[in-house]
Amino acid sequence: MIRMEDAIVQKFSLPALLKESLGAHLGWGRQWGSADLKSSYDAVIVGGGGHGLATAYYMAKEHGIRKIAVIERGWLGGGNSGRNTTIVRSNYLYDESAAIFEHSLKLWEGLSQELNYNVMFSQRGVLMLAHNEHDRQSFKRHVYANRLNGIDNEWLTPEEAKQFCPQLDLSPGKRYPVVGAALQRRAGTARHDAVNWGFARAASALGVDIIQNCEVLGLERDAFGAVCGLNTTRGKVATTKVGVSVAGHTPQLMSLFGVKVPLESQPLQALVSEPLKPAFPTVVMSNAVHAYISQSDKGELVIGAGTDQYVSYSQQGGLHIPIHTLDAICELFPIFTRVKMMRSWGGITDNTVDRSPIQGVTPIPGLYINCGWGTGGFKATPGSGHLFAHCVAKGEPHPISRPFSLDRFRTGRLIDEAAAAAVAH
């Protein structure tokens, strides 16, 4: 096993690239170390998805806490962070949501430089299609609300939308006519694996222990009820701070810790086509038909839909969902009717009743929670990690994430993006 101390974290630069080109690229070292679990840490982050890794990175970088472990039961990014359709945007309706997602979008804009790792963030825009009067009014409301919050979003006529995305079919008599669209130009996509690996590499370089194939099984508490350690499949570890970032597994893990969380875990599916030459310039979402599409840098059309309507912990879903989605995609884009689909998969999303995340303290001192990002947390990866790092390090939520407390389900101060948008990818 390679120990942390042995990890070589080389800086990626033009001179390094030139040097390695001459040496057949055999000189690149490992990107992050694989550590053994130590007997104690200042803080432990449970879950090696993008959120957990980003949290550890910002805790080490901005709060100077270096004795941190990220404990992952499988492999890094094996959860939703490596299974999503990579849409990044910040055009949410409510002030609280706009603030948290815009905080993240701003971090995305400098993330490749920050991590010295190309996360392939592409601001190709996200176009949200309106098909009826309700959509039109709702998206215009989003546009105005976003602008008041200093977030870019603009309303396009059908012709302007087609100019931006020439593949749109505006012919008359369509089942889902395009009556306009909201466009966030700064939105787009990123490469999900690169985001996980970039954060892992940067955290590892700051001394964070990344421990894969190790499952957290229980919580140890002291005489005052505060966190004093964790039980794992590799034994006990002492710590006074635990940050939980396990997405769809949150209800299971938190019930082992004795804390109830108002979440439902549901499968969400995605699928990709055979690779095509560049054919699609942007991300298009249609909430009314519940389908969205973009093209990856490899050329595959990346297509997603809504969640299955039942609770499940299997990383797959019902066939009727992708079939309905493909019907809708073919209806919207007849140009793709004969394209073959190559792969489909599912992830377990953690959904709250208001479709807004939960981040903050729990009734157990020293135990912090980050979850409920559901179908839309990839876009939040850097922002959520940045804010959760503050929470775990300081013991209290960052002002931006304060409205997203667990307590809101008791006080009733919900942030109802579910009613506002009906979709949250």
Mark residues 87-106: x for contact with ligand FAD by CB under 6 A, - for none.
x-------------------
Distance separating alpha carbons of residues 49 and 77, to the nearest angstrom: 5
Report the DSSP pairing between strands 43-46 and 358-361.
unpaired
* Count of other CB atoms within 10 angstroms of residue 28: 13
Mark residues 228-267: x for contact with ligand FAD by CB under 6 A, - for none.
-----------------xxx-x---x--------------
The interface region with ligand FAD, picked from 16-24, 109-117, 377-385, 386-394 by CB under 6 A, is 377-385
Check residue 421 for interaction with ligand FAD (CB under 6 A).
no
Interface residue with ligand FAD, options 142, 386, 390, 425 (CB under 6 A): 425
Check residue 187 for interaction with ligand FAD (CB under 6 A).
no
Tokens of 132: 């009826």
Residue (of 131, 111, 103, 100) closest to 289 by Cα position: 131
The interface region with ligand FAD, picked from 48-56, 57-65, 133-141, 223-231 by CB under 6 A, is 48-56
Check residue 404 for interaction with ligand FAD (CB under 6 A).
no
54, 385 contact by CB (below 8 A)? yes
Q: Tokens 């002291």 appear where? A: 222
Check residue 49 for interaction with ligand FAD (CB under 6 A).
yes
- DSSP string for 109-154: HTHHHHHTS----B---EEEEE-SHHHHHHHHHHHHHHHHTT---E
Interface residue with ligand FAD, options 20, 30, 78, 206 (CB under 6 A): 78
Check residue 33 for interaction with ligand FAD (CB under 6 A).
no
Tokens of 387: 């804010």
Min dist CB 275 to ligand FAD, Å, is 19
Interface residue with ligand FAD, options 50, 125, 306, 322 (CB under 6 A): 50
Interface residue with ligand FAD, options 268, 289, 369, 421 (CB under 6 A): 268
Size of site (CB under 6 A) for ligand FAD: 40
283-286, strands of its sheet edge to edge: 154-156, 180-184, 126-130, 283-286, 291-295, 300-307, 264-275, 341-351
46, 56 contact by CB (below 8 A)? no
Tokens of 198: 């970039």
Interface residue with ligand FAD, options 84, 153, 351, 401 (CB under 6 A): 84
Sign of torsion, CA 172 130 164 355? negative
Check residue 290 for interaction with ligand FAD (CB under 6 A).
no
Residue (of 63, 296, 275) closest to 194 by Cα position: 296
Check residue 86 for interaction with ligand FAD (CB under 6 A).
yes
Check residue 125 for interaction with ligand FAD (CB under 6 A).
no
> Which one, 156 or 211, has the nearer CB to ligand FAD?
211
Check residue 145 for interaction with ligand FAD (CB under 6 A).
no
Interface residue with ligand FAD, options 35, 41, 47, 351 (CB under 6 A): 47
Separation in Å, CA 181 to CA 39, 125, 136: 55, 12, 8
Check residue 291 for interaction with ligand FAD (CB under 6 A).
no
Q: Which residues bind ligand FAD (CB under 6 A)?
A: 46-52, 71-74, 78-81, 83-87, 215-216, 245-247, 249, 253, 268-270, 304, 347, 349, 373, 375-379, 425
